[in-house]
Chain A
Amino acid sequence: MSALVLRGGPVSVRVERRTVVLTAVLLTLIAGVGLLGLSYGATWSSPAKVFDALSGGRGGVVIREWRLPRVAAALLFGAALGIAGAIFQNITRNPMGSPDIIGLDAGAYTGALVAITVLSGTSVQLAVGSVLGGAVAAAAVYLLSLGGGLSGLRLVVIGIAVNAILMALNSWIVLRADLEVAIAAVGWSAGSLNGVDWSDVRLPFGIIGLLLVAMVVRSQALHQDALGTELAVTTGVGVDRLRLQLVVIGVGLTATVTAVAGPIAFIALAAPQIGRRLAKAPGVPLLPAALTGALLLQGADLVAQMLLAPVSLPVGVVTTAIGGCYLIWLLTKEVRRP
């Protein structure tokens, strides 16, 4: 096996060479699309200008205050969604068990809508509301699929039903709301990064950062769990507690992204699966999922801005169209497998 072993005192980490190469390639690509995102806009700025602006040069306000928060949000949110998807796909042991399919996005969006329409809708209320909404949706799907064996596909279809009910509920709330709220909510309902600036993203970035650290701490146990419940228990992983922690992290990540950018569909579904195939890894590894998620969301956001320029599409429209095609392809492949 082509593996590298890094040792530092009592700690040693074994890394597959393929993973290292893949990580490097993905990081390069992310840097590429990130730079493109900073350069692209109503006026094209050359990369040299971008670097000048980033290092604090004069005349870089557009890049630093408008484009940079959007690109940063796309990258970090994409990574968060990719990780949330990997967590849920690991737990349900099913590629379709990702948060956007089973109604967590829709639940978080319901919470955010309630925070806007009933309360005043500050960014703290938005974050709390969407986390609560996502958690309630997750609990509902879990409880409804209990009994009669917890088969992955069954949970997925129940999640689809919950998703449909919540989407209907969301449309109803939007229709009831005042016109200004309704217009804001509709632009946001497809999942959009339009108009994101630094004041919107400071708190979410902090929350996502904390959750990512928690995830890194528990990632070893997650990969052990992915090998099978029996094996995980034998190697000393408290499976029930681990899964609860993971669900909390996954819901937190999904809900935080939804609170700012609305329900962006299919990144959580597609990124872990693409990452897994690229890494040729067993289970659903986290790092490739995060990197692929960041790359996909920033790429989709660029497409969304360019497709009908100067009008900027909601990025969710692009991710839905791409992700749905990918899902159908995934199902086709599963059919061919004997």
Chain B
Amino acid sequence: MTGRRVALLSGALVLLVVVAVVGVGIGAHHVPVVEVVRALLDHNGSPDHVVVRDVRAPRALLAVGAGAALAVAGVLIQVLMRNPLAEPGVLGVTAGAGFAITAGSALGLAASPAGELGAAVAGAVIATLLVYSVGRRSPLRLVLTGVALTAVLSGLSLGLRLLLPDVFDRYRFWSVGSLAGREQAPNTVPLLVIAVAVACALLLARQLDAVELGETVAQTLGVNVHRVRLAALVLITVLSGAATAIAGPILFVGLMVPHLARRFAGSSVPWLTAFAAVLGPVLLLVADIGSRVLLPTGEVPVAIVTAFLGGPVLIWAVRRHGAVAAA
């Protein structure tokens, strides 16, 4: 079993590298794969190399970071709430982060990347607490609460942006969830935070495995259930907040990837987390490539592509797990 999983995980890693390298070459200006590899390893300053190094590669790195963050947050939230429909986007956590960034910049607080990140995480925390306290009784109700909160916050965000034209200008593209143009912003802080949080999630996964067996069993195994839950909640909000700060609100990645990863990882939470951390970036990279080719000119925001892909997955999940979940 473990041997198979190791093989599959290595396969997924290879896939990630291939998608990343091929994806970097695709766009308005096509760059052959050989040139992409050469640009990364042996930079000679030609226009192709500049495009790859300064625009495409940073953008791919953002996709990897945001994808991993959303997918791992999705795994944690599904395990923690024991709810196959849970997802940071659908539950309104990303909407909370997005609104906090808009509101923070309207008040002049979120000017730096660190400030943006802080606002996003604070918004995610508040949204999580609100949605969880209203909807914790039943999985479907949780989804409905998340949708309602998302609607309210997007209405308020739109109102704020219409009130303050310069905020509108800054967040016009960001507000639909897009990676376009974001590679120019300094994103080192959010990316570092995501890396640390994903590592923490991998460390925490073993204990979450025990919690999933039930509170009593977990306590017998010597796991402090409350502390593990709290830690998982903190990681969920930090990951969703950081991903939103990078790419704006992107729905459904955190829903799709855990369902996909479960196929390979079975019910083991550590493996699930590892697979999600690799497959999330693959999915977002593919969606980002789609966002660049779907229109003859210009780009479709990546969140639109993920909604296309993710909506059917939500339907499938409801049809498959609905009977169990409709408590």
Give the size of the chain A interface in residues (CB under 8 angstroms): 44
* A residues less than 8 Å from B311 (CB atoms): 161-162, 164-165, 168
Q: Which residue of B lies closest to A170 (CB)?
A: B304
Given known A-B contacts A335-B134, A335-B137, A175 and B156 have beta carbons under 8 A apart: no
Interface flags, B151-192, vs A, CB<8A=1, else 0:
111111011001100000000000010000000000000000
4 nearest interchain CB pairs? A324-B152, A165-B311, A168-B307, A321-B155
In the docked arrangement, what's the CA distance between A31 and B292, Å? 52
Point out residues on A near B: beta carbons under 8 Å.
Answer: 96, 101, 144, 147-149, 151, 153-154, 156-158, 160-162, 164-165, 167-169, 171-172, 175-176, 190, 265-266, 307-308, 311, 313, 317-318, 320-321, 323-325, 327-328, 331-332, 334-335
Contact size class for B? 35 or more
* A residues less than 8 Å from B138 (CB atoms): 153
Query: What DSSP secondary structure best describes chain A's contact surface?
Result: helix
* B residues less than 8 Å from A317 (CB atoms): 155, 158-159, 162
* B residues less than 8 Å from A149 (CB atoms): 323
- Find out whether the CB atom of B145 lies under 8 angstroms from the CB atom of A165: no
Given known A-B contacts A154-B318, A331-B134, A331-B148, A169 and B159 have beta carbons under 8 A apart: no
In the docked arrangement, what's the CA distance between A325 and B163, Å? 21
In the docked arrangement, what's the CA distance between A320 and B151, Å? 6
- Find out whether the CB atom of A157 lies under 8 angstroms from the CB atom of B85: yes
- Find out whether the CB atom of A167 lies under 8 angstroms from the CB atom of B152: no
* A residues less than 8 Å from B176 (CB atoms): 171
Residue B58 lies at the interface, judged by CB distance under 8 Å to chain A? no
* A residues less than 8 Å from B151 (CB atoms): 265-266, 320, 323-324, 327
* B residues less than 8 Å from A318 (CB atoms): 155
- Find out whether the CB atom of A331 lies under 8 angstroms from the CB atom of B252: no
- Find out whether the CB atom of B147 lies under 8 angstroms from the CB atom of A160: yes
How close is A263's CB to chain B, nearest CB, in angstroms?
A: 12
How close is B242's CB to chain A, nearest CB, in angstroms?
A: 23
In the docked arrangement, what's the CA distance between A301 and B50, Å? 51
In the docked arrangement, what's the CA distance between A157 and B176, Å? 22
* A residues less than 8 Å from B85 (CB atoms): 157
Q: List 17 A-B contacts (CB under 8 A).
A: A157-B143, A157-B318, A164-B251, A164-B252, A165-B307, A165-B308, A165-B311, A167-B307, A168-B304, A171-B176, A313-B159, A317-B155, A317-B159, A324-B152, A327-B144, A328-B148, A331-B145
In the docked arrangement, what's the CA distance between A290 and B154, Å? 27
Q: B10-18, B35-43, B265-273, B294-302: which lies at the A interface?
A: B294-302
- Find out whether the CB atom of B307 lies under 8 angstroms from the CB atom of A147: no
How close is A310's CB to chain B, nearest CB, in angstroms?
A: 13
- Find out whether the CB atom of B319 lies under 8 angstroms from the CB atom of A156: no
In the docked arrangement, what's the CA distance between A313 and B162, Å? 8
